Chains A and B, each alone.
Chain A
Amino acid sequence: MAQASMPLARPTDTPDAPEAGSAPEAVALRPALFARYGALEQLRYDFPLVLVEDDGDGPVLQPLTQVMDAIVRQTAAPGPAGEALRQLVLRLEDAIRQRVAGGESDTLANLCRTCAADLLAASQEPPFGPTATNLDRAREALHVDGLVIDCDGATPKAVLAHAWKSVHAAKAKEFRKKIDGLILRLTDILKADFTRSDEAHTPAALESAIGASYGAAFDFHALSRVLSRGRAGEGLPKERERRIHWVLFVLRSQRFYGPGRSSERKPGQPEPHGFIFESCAAALDAFRERLPAVLEFVKALTIAELEIENKYRAELHDPVFERFDESDLSAEQLALLPASLVCLRDGRTDTAETVQAFEALASGLSIKVLIQTDDILGGTSPEPSRTAFGVGSARLAAMAMGLNSAYVFQASSAHLCRARERLIAGLRHDGPALFCVFSGAVETAPHVAPYLLAAAATESRAFPTFSYDPSAGPDWAARFDLTGNPQLTADWPLHRLEYQDQAMQRHGEEVAFSYIDFAACDRRYARFCQPGAEAEWGEDMVPASACLESTPEANGGRRPYVLTVGPDDELRRTVVDEKIIEAARRCNDAWRRLQELGGINNSHALRLLARERAVWEAEREREAPPPGAPEAAASAVPTVEPPAEAEVAEVAEPAAAGDGPWIEVSRCTTCNECTQINNRIFVYNDDMQAEIVDPDAGTYREMVEAAESCQVSIIHPGQPRNPDEPNLEDLIARAESFN
């Protein structure tokens, strides 16, 4: 198993020396690598899982171990001083894990309370002793709460429903913020209209507005008369008022989300719609049934947005809303509304339902479908055709990627917590989403814990973790994510197995964990496996993973085996049938296809690389200097001249039109000096900056005076246009400093 999946193992769990002569046919087999994980409830790993109830941005799923580690970090002093508290928290965690493994289902706070009471009772300390104090400190530091679940057949549905609820709650918050904002603006419009109306200006209305405390200080009849006289304009057009009332009614009576506060609901108001369905047909029916309400709501929403901008024009917009139908619904409008959730269980629900799920996903509606798989391998009796042997329903998610518009997520229960960001992203995705989750609760492998089997499915590439997000970008590189699988670039993950032989000698070897190891756990496949104890091991045996690459002929008739253990932890080489080997090859083929999609060993890229390399090598060969050529020539690097510093573009001085007057328009500060002297010569342009539009509309004296009074000295009077003007000499002398 991957180190990260199962970090701790007891050294005592290493396989004992195999004994000769045990009865192989009665043994329920497990892969040899499982031997270290005999008693799961004593290990710290991703389960039990806390389904965190939180309004904030924190993770919605958290392993119990993470919660407890956070408590230790927060409360325990470093070094020996905090050791007692650390150990106590770990014992508390252990007690909770035992209870959950025993089938108890409760919230974390309640479990902590009961387990802490048990620990306290067991310590037999007097009240307020060190154990009680430490337990109190630990519980005070517990800031998350929610249902604690173990890994079993109910896990995928519980996790997905919980994540859906948290996404739904966040969406509801956004929705209420938007809708309440619109309602507030619209009621403001009506309120402003009312305060200007006759009705609001009656003495009685004014009196009630002022209130009883200061009522005696006013003459409301006089006030009413004054206000009525000073009222300007008319109120809202009746048509607009009616429209706003209708919009407010629709927005307030929507049933897509609840009111947000339980006490906010008015008596007689209908319950909000439910969005969790048992079947896709029910989800689609509900969508069709609610479509008129959706249309009405979206219409009201759009009208509200136009009304608060005061941009509703009946002549333009009325025809649009009269014709408004399903085809006008846009993705962002639908994204406001809740997504439906359908939970299906492969093998329990009809096959027809799975087909319908694909139809629902193809519809583009915001439907989130969980297909829980409990059996990846499929039955062996009646024997399936060779190509379907050992395939089961593991390929649904890969098929759904072909729909292109749907978000696709696949993971086993064991990896749900680690892939939680991608799980949430799928639920937040505006379109449809498919979640394929393998529960690990396989009826035909009751001797392996569901968590182990689920983790093994990921490890053996039988059920890899991946996601496909069509909204993440335009290409596969952005959309497809294969991370989360162990040893991504390898065909099968390799792990070190250590064991003792009959002579009590320690051995170690690198063992691949492949599809065959996974299949060997299943009782239905036992008849294709032949376990053999050490005494039966022979030279004609070959590790199964080694012969997957080659044909049976190339193996020279050697028998492929995988290492397994029975309940007694005795190591066996289990020889497997060619049928399982072939199924493993198909599994490997599917995994390589996923790798290619994820950019690993992509065949197109490899081909391109090979072609470019060939071209490059050919070129290098051609350009290679003849032996003995001076080395300096080869090492000469062409130097690039630094680009000349770009100079600021010089703008030519505005050309003075001969001797005529001119003005630097863009520097004008609109100070009115020149226009006050003569507003026929100087006129403001569209930017309120002065231009000389007609130099002959005034005298040269005015021109010179304007230049003198201009605060920013941008007027240049030029030469006089009328030689008969008096005092020209003096004026020309005054104008000189401005020209």
Chain B
Amino acid sequence: MTATMTQCLLRLVEEDYTLADYQSDIAPRWCAGCGDSAILTAIQRLCREENLPPEKTVFVSGIGCSSRLPHYMNAYGFHGMHGRALPVAEGIKMRRPDLHVFVTTGDGDCCSIGAAHWIHAIRYNMNMTVLLHDNQVYGLTKNQASPTSPRGLQTNTTPRGACLEPLNPLSVTLGVANVSFVAQAVDWIPGLLYDIIAQAHRHRGLAFVRILQRCPEFMDHFYDDAVRDPTKTRILVHGDGLRLSPEVSRIYRNQEAHDPLDMARARALASLGDEIPVGVLYRDPSVPCYDDLRAGERPNTPDLIRTVLDEEFDKVTIWPQIGATPLGAE
């Protein structure tokens, strides 16, 4: 395959980005020990490795600790309304398919107030990467129960402990029509976090990644068992999914070969009780994308819009008869 002339000319001015090119002037205002920092670093590494031009990359968020992330990226960003990150991202993708769209959202933003948008975004399967920072508590508003809080968790809104079973974002997503990519990562294994986000970015369609994230303020020591005992984490490996580095493989020996096309197993893994599955649970690149289906034969240029409107108006226009005698003039 020979490179086109444009590709050659682009190569003349190609830039090699560094991590600093994606860091904004604003220092992250997350608590020390917060898992969001690990996610931010993984994203910045991905941008650098994939050489994504900052001006061609957009981060969209809703409200919450996680949703501060666009401020810390030197790229386009949209800190949207609570729960509305996905509709904004869909609008961006529809109008600017050339942009790399990332959505960062939290367990409250996505699974509570934004749940309707979440379900339909999965069904639309537009080409973007959605990162759900799931710390299982409302951190920004200081300790209230979220839809994913474990039963019995004492918070300001549940002083006697949360009385409902938590919602499982993985099994909900896997149950929606047109789902095409579901993965789970944890913020305390940075190598895997990067690999999973990279696979999500390369997937064509909506890639949904739930990231279990530590909150040192309100969920302190919640994940200590999993962090200290590698056998509590079940790593999903496959030729089409994660391939572990020897270093990770040595520490995390609890591994399962899981074919990402196997939906039944993916659903069973999503509901594992005592272990945390990490890796690509489901991937089907053949699911059609809404942005492709709706792209139409031609882009809606101003000229085309005007033409089509004129055609429609012409259907109901009454044209004056040329040469006819005006009424009452005979």
Binding site for B on A (CB under 8 A): 173, 176-177, 180-181, 183-185, 187, 252, 260-261, 263-264, 302, 305-306, 308-311, 313, 316-317, 320, 328, 330-333, 648-651, 666-673, 676, 686-689, 709, 711-713
**CA A666 to CA B41, docked complex, whole Å:** 12
Known: A177-B299, A181-B299, A672-B32. A713 touches B5 (CB 8 A): no
Residue pairs across A and B with Cβ atoms less than 8 A apart, 10 shown, are: A180-B299, A183-B299, A187-B301, A330-B4, A332-B4, A651-B247, A668-B190, A670-B41, A671-B32, A711-B214
Chain A residues positioned under 8 Å from B38 (CB to CB): 669-671
Chain B residues positioned under 8 Å from A672 (CB to CB): 28, 30, 32-34, 37
Known: A263-B311, A330-B2. A176 touches B37 (CB 8 A): no
**CA A37 to CA B56, docked complex, whole Å:** 68
Nearest to B250 among chain A residues (CB) is A651
Nearest to A183 among chain B residues (CB) is B301
Are A310 and B5 in contact (CB-based, < 8 A)? no
Q: Give the Cβ gap from B248 to chain A, nearest Cβ, in Å.
A: 9
The reply on B264 being an interface residue by CB < 8 A is no
Mark B218-249 against chain A: 1 for CB-CB distance below 8 A, else 0.
00000000011000000000000000001101
Nearest to B40 among chain A residues (CB) is A670
**CA A317 to CA B41, docked complex, whole Å:** 35
Total inter-chain residue pairs, C-beta < 8 Å: 133
Closest 6 interchain pairs by CB? Answer: A669-B38, A688-B41, A305-B6, A670-B41, A670-B37, A264-B307
Are A688 and B5 in contact (CB-based, < 8 A)? no
Are A671 and B37 in contact (CB-based, < 8 A)? yes
Q: Give the Cβ gap from A662 to chain B, nearest Cβ, in Å.
A: 15
Are A313 and B190 in contact (CB-based, < 8 A)? no
Are B188 and A711 in contact (CB-based, < 8 A)? yes
Chain B residues positioned under 8 Å from A310 (CB to CB): 55
The reply on B172 being an interface residue by CB < 8 A is no
Are A180 and B298 in contact (CB-based, < 8 A)? yes
Which residue of B2, B41, B188, B297 contacts A177 across the interface (Cβ within 8 Å)? Answer: B297
The reply on B293 being an interface residue by CB < 8 A is no
Q: Give the Cβ gap from A324 to chain B, nearest Cβ, in Å.
A: 9
Known: A670-B41, A711-B188, A713-B227. A176 touches B9 (CB 8 A): no
Q: Give the Cβ gap from B239 to chain A, nearest Cβ, in Å.
A: 15
Q: Give the Cβ gap from B173 to chain A, nearest Cβ, in Å.
A: 25
Known: A263-B307, A317-B12. A187 touches B190 (CB 8 A): no
Chain B residues positioned under 8 Å from A651 (CB to CB): 246-247, 250
Are A309 and B10 in contact (CB-based, < 8 A)? yes
Chain B residues positioned under 8 Å from A264 (CB to CB): 303-304, 307
The reply on B191 being an interface residue by CB < 8 A is yes
Chain B residues positioned under 8 Å from A317 (CB to CB): 9, 12
Chain B residues positioned under 8 Å from A328 (CB to CB): 5
Are A650 and B311 in contact (CB-based, < 8 A)? no
The reply on B310 being an interface residue by CB < 8 A is yes
Are B13 and A711 in contact (CB-based, < 8 A)? no
Nearest to B34 among chain A residues (CB) is A671
Which residue of B44, B56, B190, B247 contacts A669 across the interface (Cβ within 8 Å)? Answer: B190
Which residue of A333, A650, A687 contacts B246 across the interface (Cβ within 8 Å)? Answer: A650
Are B191 and A666 in contact (CB-based, < 8 A)? yes
Nearest to A260 among chain B residues (CB) is B298
Are B247 and A666 in contact (CB-based, < 8 A)? yes
Mark B297-315 against chain A: 1 for CB-CB distance below 8 A, else 0.
1111111100110110010
Q: Give the Cβ gap from B25 to chain A, nearest Cβ, in Å.
A: 15
Are A671 and B44 in contact (CB-based, < 8 A)? no
**CA A328 to CA B5, docked complex, whole Å:** 8
Are B299 and A184 in contact (CB-based, < 8 A)? yes
The reply on B117 being an interface residue by CB < 8 A is no
The reply on B109 being an interface residue by CB < 8 A is no
Are B5 and A330 in contact (CB-based, < 8 A)? yes
Nearest to B14 among chain A residues (CB) is A311
The reply on B189 being an interface residue by CB < 8 A is yes
Most buried by B among A185, A667, A671: A671
Chain A residues positioned under 8 Å from B35 (CB to CB): 669, 671
The reply on B113 being an interface residue by CB < 8 A is no
**CA A309 to CA B5, docked complex, whole Å:** 14
The reply on B156 being an interface residue by CB < 8 A is no
Chain A residues positioned under 8 Å from B107 (CB to CB): none
Nearest to A687 among chain B residues (CB) is B45
Q: Apart from A180-B298, A263-B307, A309-B56, what 8 extra A-B contacts exist at CB < 8 Å?
A: A173-B298, A184-B299, A261-B308, A263-B310, A306-B6, A333-B5, A667-B188, A676-B32
Q: Give the Cβ gap from A195 to chain B, nearest Cβ, in Å.
A: 15
Main secondary structure of the interface of A (DSSP, over half): helix
Chain B residues positioned under 8 Å from A671 (CB to CB): 32-35, 37-38, 216
Instruction: Enumerate B28-55 residues with CB–CB distance to A below 8 Å.
Output: 28, 30, 32-35, 37-38, 40-41, 44-45, 53, 55
Chain A residues positioned under 8 Å from B247 (CB to CB): 651, 666
Nearest to B7 among chain A residues (CB) is A305
The reply on B19 being an interface residue by CB < 8 A is yes
Chain A residues positioned under 8 Å from B44 (CB to CB): 688
The reply on B18 being an interface residue by CB < 8 A is yes
Are A302 and B6 in contact (CB-based, < 8 A)? yes
Chain A residues positioned under 8 Å from B34 (CB to CB): 671-672
The reply on B187 being an interface residue by CB < 8 A is yes
Nearest to B194 among chain A residues (CB) is A687
**CA A671 to CA B189, docked complex, whole Å:** 12
Q: Give the Cβ gap from B238 to chain A, nearest Cβ, in Å.
A: 15
**CA A191 to CA B249, docked complex, whole Å:** 53
**CA A712 to CA B251, docked complex, whole Å:** 13
Q: Give the Cβ gap from A477 to chain B, nearest Cβ, in Å.
A: 22
Which residue of A183, A316, A689 contacts B13 across the interface (Cβ within 8 Å)? Answer: A316
Q: Give the Cβ gap from A689 to chain B, nearest Cβ, in Å.
A: 7
Which residue of B40, B297, B308, B310 contacts A173 across the interface (Cβ within 8 Å)? Answer: B297
Which residue of B188, B191, B310 contacts A712 across the interface (Cβ within 8 Å)? Answer: B188
Chain A residues positioned under 8 Å from B4 (CB to CB): 330, 332-333
Are A306 and B310 in contact (CB-based, < 8 A)? no
Are B301 and A180 in contact (CB-based, < 8 A)? yes
Nearest to A654 among chain B residues (CB) is B247
Nearest to B4 among chain A residues (CB) is A332
Are A669 and B37 in contact (CB-based, < 8 A)? yes
Are B32 and A686 in contact (CB-based, < 8 A)? no
Mark B197-218 against chain A: 1 for CB-CB distance below 8 A, else 0.
0000000000000000010100
Known: A261-B311, A333-B5, A648-B250. A666 touches B190 (CB 8 A): yes
**CA A668 to CA B319, docked complex, whole Å:** 75
Are A316 and B188 in contact (CB-based, < 8 A)? no
Are A649 and B188 in contact (CB-based, < 8 A)? no
Nearest to A301 among chain B residues (CB) is B6
Known: A305-B6, A309-B10. A686 touches B19 (CB 8 A): yes
Q: Give the Cβ gap from A397 to chain B, nearest Cβ, in Å.
A: 29
Are A712 and B227 in contact (CB-based, < 8 A)? yes
Known: A313-B12, A676-B32, A686-B18. A667 touches B189 (CB 8 A): yes
Chain A residues positioned under 8 Å from B5 (CB to CB): 302, 328, 330, 333
Mark B133-147 against chain A: 1 for CB-CB distance below 8 A, else 0.
000000000000000
Are B190 and A670 in contact (CB-based, < 8 A)? yes
Are B13 and A313 in contact (CB-based, < 8 A)? yes
Chain A residues positioned under 8 Å from B6 (CB to CB): 302, 305-306
Q: Give the Cβ gap from A617 to chain B, nearest Cβ, in Å.
A: 44
Chain B residues positioned under 8 Å from A688 (CB to CB): 19, 41, 44-45
Chain B residues positioned under 8 Å from A649 (CB to CB): 246
Are A711 and B33 in contact (CB-based, < 8 A)? yes
**CA A177 to CA B295, docked complex, whole Å:** 10
Chain B residues positioned under 8 Å from A316 (CB to CB): 9, 12-13
Are A176 and B298 in contact (CB-based, < 8 A)? yes
Chain A residues positioned under 8 Å from B304 (CB to CB): 180, 261, 264
**CA A103 to CA B157, docked complex, whole Å:** 88
Are A711 and B190 in contact (CB-based, < 8 A)? no
Q: Give the Cβ gap from B271 to chain A, nearest Cβ, in Å.
A: 26
Are A650 and B250 in contact (CB-based, < 8 A)? yes
Are A187 and B299 in contact (CB-based, < 8 A)? no
**CA A686 to CA B9, docked complex, whole Å:** 29
Are B41 and A302 in contact (CB-based, < 8 A)? no
